[in-house]
Amino acid sequence: MTHKTHRAFGCYGIATIDDKLVVIKKNGGPYRHRFDLPGGSLDGPEPLEHDVLREFTEETGLTATIDQQLGATSFIYPWKYQHWTINQHICVFYALSINGGKLETSVAQFMGQDSLGACALPLDTLTWANASPLVMFAKAFLTTGQPELTTKTFSNWEVLKEAANPS
């Protein structure tokens, strides 16, 4: 069988409130019904740094500054979407510091918006059963202080049928 690869690219922010990771409730794509990191695709010819801050605010209601770019990696997994059978999600990660706004549990919906709102969750409640690989990357980074930038390949990936809940 020939695999057709879909490639997605985005910039994602890692920020905490009282040692809890800021995550979004995902409303679309392969991470639907899971917790995901705020971030996403470039809007035209946009600098990466602008993208991550714009997406972070749109999806969480918070404003932030960039502490550092942590680097890039990708996650590869089977995903049947349109005519594709494999997804390679290429991600640039940023450590952020929150400097304003209000954590919004629901956010404005518009074409391309795939966040239902944000929350801040303790790291021990985020698992492979309820979170995206991006969140698990952030959890490992916050735990070890080191970004693991090796591409991760999964033999299977489940798109959840109902909303994830922290355990």
Q: Return the closest-CA partner of residue 12 out of 2, 4, 84, 31.
A: 31
* Domain-located, residue 162: no
So what's the pLDDT on residue 166? 66
Please count the other Cβ atoms lying within 10 Å of the Cβ belonging to residue 58.
20
Given a cut of 70, is residue 1 above it in pLDDT?
no
* Domain-located, residue 75: yes
β strands within 82-114, DSSP E: 84-101
* Domain-located, residue 160: no
Q: Quote the mean pLDDT of the chain.
A: 92
* Domain-located, residue 14: yes
In this prediction, residue 85 has a pLDDT band, given cuts at 50, 70 and 90, of very high
So what's the pLDDT on residue 82? 87
> Phi then psi for 133, rounded to 5 degrees?
-60, -30
CATH number of the domain where residue 98 is located: 3.90.79.10
113-134, pLDDT tens digit by residue?
678 889 999 999 999 999 999 9
Residue 10 identity (one-letter amino acid): G
* Domain-located, residue 31: yes
Asked whether 14 and 95 are in contact (CB, 8 A), the reply is yes
7-35, pLDDT tens digit by residue?
999 999 999 999 999 999 988 889 999 99
For 72, the domain range is: 5-153
Mean pLDDT of the 34-39 span: 96
* Domain-located, residue 113: yes
What is d(CA 101, CA 99) in angstroms, rounded to the nearest whole number?
7
In this prediction, residue 110 has a pLDDT band, given cuts at 50, 70 and 90, of low
* Domain-located, residue 161: no
pTM as predicted: 0.92
So what's the pLDDT on residue 81? 83
Asked whether 27 and 114 are in contact (CB, 8 A), the reply is yes
What is d(CA 113, CA 22) in angstroms, rounded to the nearest whole number?
17
What is d(CA 29, CA 18) in angstroms, rounded to the nearest whole number?
29
* Domain-located, residue 123: yes
Our count of domains for the chain comes to 1
What is d(CA 164, CA 33) in angstroms, rounded to the nearest whole number?
5
Mean pLDDT of the 66-80 span: 96
Long-range CB contacts (within 8 A, 24+) of 46-54: 48/11, 48/92, 49/94, 51/10, 51/11, 52/11, 52/12, 52/13, 52/92, 52/94, 52/96, 53/13, 53/96
